[in-house]
A and B are shown apart, each in its own frame.
Chain A
Amino acid sequence: GESVGLHLPTLSVQEGDNSIINCAYSNSASDYFIWYKQESGKGPQFIIDIRSNMDKRQGQRVTVLLNKTVKHLSLQIAATQPGDSAVYFCAENGIIDSWGKLQFGAGTQVVVTP
């Protein structure tokens, strides 16, 4: 059931501004990272991914930055729109075993205000 007291960090952004969502990953051996968007009542939706041989990748209105030195990943959303309101979370492949299953963060709630 629900755990009392646990809640996601929240980023409040004004419509039209740029959003930056941050993620610290744990495994220095991870070589694949991915961002998801999850709207209320829906499953996670793939946004963009990046491999460790890159430090930046751009998509439509989104940019992912990877800093392997400090194990930090960020997602930038340009010109944030009301439809961008959702929970965003990152995942790393972790290299737990040869198969490298994804490990997910808990997420950040993005609220777009008019």
Chain B
Amino acid sequence: IAGITQAPTSQILAAGRRMTLRCTQDMRHNAMYWYRQDLGLGLRLIHYSNTAGTTGKGEVPDGYSVSRANTDDFPLTLASAVPSQTSVYFCASSVQGGSQPQHFGDGTRLSIL
């Protein structure tokens, strides 16, 4: 079934450790996104990519980095995890950027201790 695959589904991580969340889509969408979802705050954009080879900062980029080496993959890296990064992380994609439906994966639940 076409869609977005995120891995891992959940993770408990010690503060200070490095962690990469994986995201792969098989819909050949140009644009991809990373969001975090916290109770009462809704989805907040961390980083995005309009097309392979380009990335941009969203609303809450500090402490996170991304890369877009090809169309399908958009990994999110926490270089040195802190407890405030405990959240549910969603990857999404859309055919093009901007005013189009974004299709989401089922998320990674990350706890930083």
B-contacting residues of A (Cβ < 8 Å)?
A: 1-3, 6-8, 31-32, 34, 41-46, 49, 51, 89, 91, 93, 99-102, 104-107
Question: Can you list, as one digit per residue, whether each of B87-113 has a CB less than 8 Å from chain A (1) or not (0)?
Answer: 000101000011101111111000000
Cβ-defined partner of B101 (8 Å) among A43, A49, A106: A49
The distance in angstroms between the C-alpha atoms of A1 and B15, with both chains bound, is: 13
Q: Chain A binding site: helix, strand, loop or mixed by DSSP?
A: loop
- Chain A residue contacts of B56, Cβ below 8 A: 99
B107 near A43 with CB under 8 A, answer: yes
A51's nearest neighbour on chain B, judged by CB, is: B99
- Chain B residue contacts of A43, Cβ below 8 A: 4, 90, 92, 104-107
Cβ-defined partner of B99 (8 Å) among A2, A45, A100, A106: A100
Q: Is B24 an interface residue (CB 8 A)?
A: no
Cβ-defined partner of A6 (8 Å) among B35, B40, B48, B50: B40
Q: How far is the CB of B30 from chain A (nearest CB, A)?
A: 12
Interface bin, chain B: 20 to 34
B43 near A44 with CB under 8 A, answer: yes
Given contacts A44-B92, A93-B99, A99-B97, 20 further A-B contacts (CB under 8 A): A2-B38, A3-B38, A3-B39, A3-B41, A7-B39, A41-B106, A43-B105, A45-B104, A46-B101, A49-B101, A51-B99, A89-B42, A99-B98, A101-B45, A101-B58, A101-B97, A102-B45, A105-B42, A106-B40, A106-B42
Q: How far is the CB of A91 from chain B (nearest CB, A)?
A: 8
Q: How far is the CB of A5 from chain B (nearest CB, A)?
A: 9
A44 near B104 with CB under 8 A, answer: yes
**12 pairs, A vs B, C-beta closer than 8 Å:** A1-B83, A3-B39, A6-B41, A8-B40, A31-B99, A43-B90, A43-B105, A51-B99, A93-B99, A100-B99, A101-B45, A104-B42
The distance in angstroms between the C-alpha atoms of A93 and B43, with both chains bound, is: 13
